Structure 1
Amino acid sequence: MARGKAEDPDHAVELLWREGGEKPRQGLSLDRIVRAGVELADAEGLGGLSMRKVAERLGFTTMSLYRHVPGRDQLIDLMCDEVAGETASAGPVVREEGDWRVRLEACAREGWELRRGHPWLAEVRGGRHVPGPRTVARYEQMLSAVAGTGLPPAEVIAVVGLVGRFVDSEALLLVESAEAERRSGVSHEEWWGGRDTLFERLYAYPTITRLWEEGGFDRPEDTFEFGLARLLDGIELLIQKRYESSDETGLCVVCGTPVERPASGRPREYCSASCRQRAYRRRRTGRDGQSREK
């Protein structure tokens, strides 16, 4: 395939959206190539992905692949869109009603599970990867979860980007840990368990020592669960701040339903007694359902 197509984003769009009805040649098809690429990246990471290895996996020459996909970058875009269709959220987009936080959290968790199954997704960096229909459907669903909160359009987009980057950053830690273990043959726990010469020196640092002795390092928080909850807390505060500073009809801070402002008195934060109770329970209970009261 001509090099020009490998550098043409419009051609990548045509491939991703399957325009033109690609026909199999000699038993090889674009779908087979993409699935083989996903299997290879799952096994070896994105660093182990090459057109040559994919061709060998399929039993064809490398040049045979170039008749279907112009290069590795385009193959990665196709692979991303392929795995994006593995959960229900990547199907036809339905604008659901309900708590924005529940919906956005569900999207984040689906993204997290997707990256746990395909860690290489977190390695796809840069802002010039062309999205396909399944990837766009996921993005649409996240945007629709936040779009009814009353945040300005630019902040809706920024919130979704922030959550997406958090999920990727957590997944990247899994990638780095797995790669280090693959190179060394030593697990993360085993490697740190052998650092006695370092630990002996840490007693000179009183805060580290106190937290260590109190078990802070023995029973660490789940970084994804802790980070996602705090991130959503911050977004919730932002939505409430925007609501309180608006002179127009506000939105329920729980579900996003429009709430008319009274002619006098304090602005209403909730559209119904049900949403008020949900907010009250959320303040009183932690994310694990345990009461915060002593």
Structure 2
Amino acid sequence: MALEHSGGSDPDRILALLWRHERKTGDAKRPLGRKPILTVDAVVAAATALADAEGLPAMSMSRVAKSLGVGTMTLYTYIESKAELIDLMVDAALGERDFPAPGEPRPRGWRAQVELFAERTRAVYRRHPWLRQVSTIRPPLGPGLLAGSEYLISALSGTGLAPRKSSAAANAINAFVGAMVSYEVESEQVERASGKSHDAWWAERSVFWDEYFDQARYPSIVDVWSRGGYDYEDVVVDVYEFGFRRLLDGIQAMIDD
């Protein structure tokens, strides 16, 4: 699967577009004397709907234009490139998490606040599975992304951790949740695309254990297996819950140190 990468747009243009509702200068170029046919919001919504339904590779500028009933060149007067559009889509999706703003009511305790961050982030990835196909190593610096960063840092800032440790903890939480929900979404997509459950896939390969698996060569696997170590109801959920709880426990240990 080829990844798209956010953060590749012209910084002056994309920052104005990302913050268009706070600064009124970024709603793209308009032909003088004409009433705008579209809005940037409408373009982003149409592109998101297309990616939700058919996947990110299907989301082209021409397809988005067609869904809006305009020519592709008209679309380019609002958003200049697919890279620009992806930045806007990612930030709009992240903004759907709708975290409590500073001063608004929130869960009590840093762990509960972090759990809310994880829960809403996972929900957004499930709602927009194409998000896992976008690398945000160079993120779109928009209000959706920043609201999440502010909320997560604020959840940790009252714990007594030093600023560097708070920042590192926030980055670790964000990375873990993003990686695990991407794995979770991919698992669901593979089942849908193949029309075959993971249990059915493993059942088809049951001969592996009898004819190819050498118990003497892999004694630790055999030992854990024989004692029920692989008896998962849902391996993805179990791995997520185990890793997330241990990560929070590790942060708590730093707080208590």
Question: What's the TM-score once normalised by structure 1's chain length?
Answer: 0.71
Residue of structure 1 aligned with 2:66, choices 30, 37, 56: 56
Query: 3-state SS of the aligned residue for 1:218?
Result: coil
Residue of structure 1 aligned with 2:213, choices 183, 198, 202: 202
In structure 2, the residue matched to 1:20 is: 25
User: CA contact under 8 A between 2:180 and 2:240: conserved in structure 1?
Assistant: yes
Q: Which has the higher contact order (CA 8 A, sep 6+)?
A: 2
In structure 2, the residue matched to 1:191 is: 201
The 10-residue stretch of structure 1 (58-67 or 152-161) with the greater mean CA deviation from structure 2: 58-67
Gaps of 5+ in 2: 1-7
Q: Counterpart of 1:20 in structure 2: which amino acid? A: T
In structure 2, the residue matched to 1:281 is: none
**Is residue 2:38 matched to residue 1:33?**
no
Q: How many residues align?
A: 235
Q: Counterpart of 1:14 in structure 2: which amino acid? A: A
Q: Counterpart of 2:226 in structure 1: which amino acid? A: E
**Is residue 2:148 matched to residue 1:138?**
yes
Question: What's the TM-score once normalised by structure 2's chain length?
Answer: 0.80
Aligned-partner Cα distance in 2 for 1:182–1:88: 29
**Is residue 2:221 matched to residue 1:218?**
no
Gaps of 5+ in 1: 1-5, 242-294
Identical columns (%): 39
Distance 1:51 1:181, change over 3 A: farther
User: CA contact under 8 A between 1:115 and 1:121: conserved in structure 2?
Assistant: yes
The 10-residue stretch of structure 1 (19-28 or 165-174) with the greater mean CA deviation from structure 2: 19-28
Aligned-partner Cα distance in 1 for 2:35–2:54: 28
**Is residue 2:94 matched to residue 1:84?**
yes
**Is residue 2:250 matched to residue 1:237?**
no
Q: Counterpart of 1:73 in structure 2: which amino acid? A: A
**After the TM superposition, which segments of 4 or more aligned residues of structure 1 sit over 4 Å from their partners?**
23-26, 95-98
User: CA contact under 8 A between 1:95 and 1:144: conserved in structure 2?
Assistant: no
In structure 2, the residue matched to 1:269 is: none
Q: Counterpart of 1:195 in structure 2: which amino acid? A: R
Q: How far off its partner does 1:33 sit?
A: 1.0
Query: Considering only CA atoms, is the larger Rg found in Structure 1 or Structure 2?
Result: 1
